Homo-oligomer: A and B are copies of this chain.
C-alpha cells in the first residue's frame, strides 16, 4: 500500500486499547501490513509529554504478552514507535478537535481512520466535533470510523445510532466491529462450506436433524459487573456473537466473495429467524448478586437457552437450540450440526447410540472442525464405535487475532467481516421480543450446564445438549 494513513484512536488508555488494539497494531506492524507512511494518534484525557505514548505501548505490549503469546521484537517496536503520537483532550471539546485537525494536516496523510474505543454515550459529541472541523469528509482519500459492538442496547437505540452515524458518514465509511466476525474459525466456515463440494449438499432439512450453538464460560463476570449487570448474557453474546455464528453456519451460498454478497446472505438468515422463539430459559448463577457492582436484587441473565427456527425453505422445521452463559462447566464456543440417522437399514440391528453424525465447528478453544462418525470396531463382530475425523489448526498461536485482522481489513477498505446497519437491526429484531419475555432468571449452580429447565427445553423434543468435548484438537 502506498497511500498514507492516520489512525486516530479515541480512548488509547481504555481496556480495549490495552488488551486488543495495541497488540493488534504491533502484529499488523510486524507483518508489514500498515501503509508505508502511517501515523497513529492516541487520544486520552491526561496531559502527557511527547514520549509517554512510546513507553505506554512498550509497557502495554510487555504486560499484555500473555494475550499476545509471542516475543516482542524491539526492532518492530522501534518502527512502531516512530509512528506514535499522543494528544490529550476532552472529546466534547471542539478546541481539541481543531488541534486534532491541525495535527492530522501536519502529518499530511490522505486517509484517516477514527477508532472509537470509548463509551457509546460519547459518540455523538465525537461525530459532532469531527463534522464541525470537517474531519468526517472524504476529500483526497478515505475517512473511516470504527465502532465496537454492541450497537445499541435494543432495536430502537440501534436504529437511533445507525441514524446518527448516517448523518455524518456514508455506510461505506462505517466499520461496526464485532470481533467474532474476525475470527479465523468463523471465517473458515465459509471456505469449509463453499470451497468444498462435500459438505454443502448436506446443509439442509433433508439431512440435518437439528443445530446447537453453545458459548459457555467456566468463570463469572469478574470485575465487569458494572457493564454486565445492565446487559446480561442474551445481549452480551447472543445478540451478536451467537447470531453471527448461526449466520455463517447456515447462510445460503453468497453469489461472490464480496462484502455486499456475504453480508446480504448473513442478514437474510437473521431476518428469517422465527420472530418469537418457541422456548426460552433465563438463568443466573448462584452468587451473582454478590458480585462487585451488581445490584443486590439483580434480575440479569448470566445464562440463556432458546429454541428457534429459520424460516427459509432449505431449513424449514430444523430446530436450532442456542445457549450461552457464565460460570458453566467448560469454556467453549462451538456450533454443532446434528445430522439425521441414516435411513438405510444395514445397521438397524445394532445400537448405534444417539446422534451418530455431528459436524462441529469449534470456534474456541482447540480450534478446528470435527466430524463425528460411526466406524466398525476392529474385531470379529460388527460392532460400531464413535470416531472423529478432525481438521485442527496446528496451534491457536498461528491464528491472527480478530482485531489484527479487522483493523487490517478496515485499512484495506474491506467491510466483509463488519456489520452493516441492516444486519445489526435484524439481530435486535430477533432479540427484542425475547427480552420482553424475560422473567426472573432461574438460579443455577456454578460449573453446571445451567438450570435444569434448559435441559428440559431440549429434552421435550427427545434431544439433548451435546457435551462439548475438550479432546478435539487438543494439540
Contact = CB atoms under 8 A, between A and B. Distances in A.
Interface string A354-387: 0011010000000001010111101110101001
Contact of A391 (B191, B359, B387, B400): B387
Contacts of A405: 380
A188 B384 CA distance: 10
Interface in A307-345: 339-345
A379 B393 CA distance: 12
Contacts of A382: 187, 191, 257
Contact of A197 (B198, B257, B341, B399): B341
A184 interface: yes
A287 interface: no
Contact of A192 (B341, B373, B391): B373
A190 interface: yes
Interface residues of A, number: 60
A400 B359 CA distance: 30
Contact of A198 (B184, B373, B376): B373
Interface in A240-299: 253-257
A349 B391 contact: no
A35 to B, nearest CB: 14
Interface string A405-416: 100110000000
B344 A376 contact: no
A374 B388 CA distance: 18
Contact of A184 (B191, B378, B391): B378
A99 interface: no
A389 interface: yes
B400 A375 contact: no
B346 A253 contact: yes
B257 A347 contact: yes
A467 interface: no
Which of A341, A382, A384 has the most B CB atoms < 10 Å from its CB? A382
Contact of A390 (B197, B342, B389): B389
Nearest to A396: B378
A285 B345 CA distance: 46
Interface string A117-132: 0000000000000000
A196 interface: yes
Given A196-B374, A390-B390, 11 more contacts: A190-B376, A191-B347, A195-B347, A195-B384, A196-B373, A198-B359, A201-B207, A253-B344, A254-B346, A378-B400, A380-B404
29 contacts: A33-B380, A187-B382, A188-B375, A190-B346, A191-B376, A194-B342, A194-B344, A195-B342, A195-B347, A195-B352, A195-B373, A195-B375, A195-B384, A196-B357, A197-B207, A197-B340, A197-B341, A198-B359, A198-B373, A200-B342, A200-B344, A201-B201, A253-B346, A256-B345, A257-B349, A369-B375, A373-B391, A378-B400, A388-B391
Closest 3 pairs between A and B when the two form their complex, measured CB to CB: A197-B342, A389-B389, A194-B346
Interface of A: 31, 33, 184, 187-188, 190-192, 194-198, 200-202, 207, 253-257, 339-347, 349, 352, 356-357, 359, 369, 371, 373-376, 378-380, 382, 384, 387-391, 393, 398-400, 404-405, 408-409
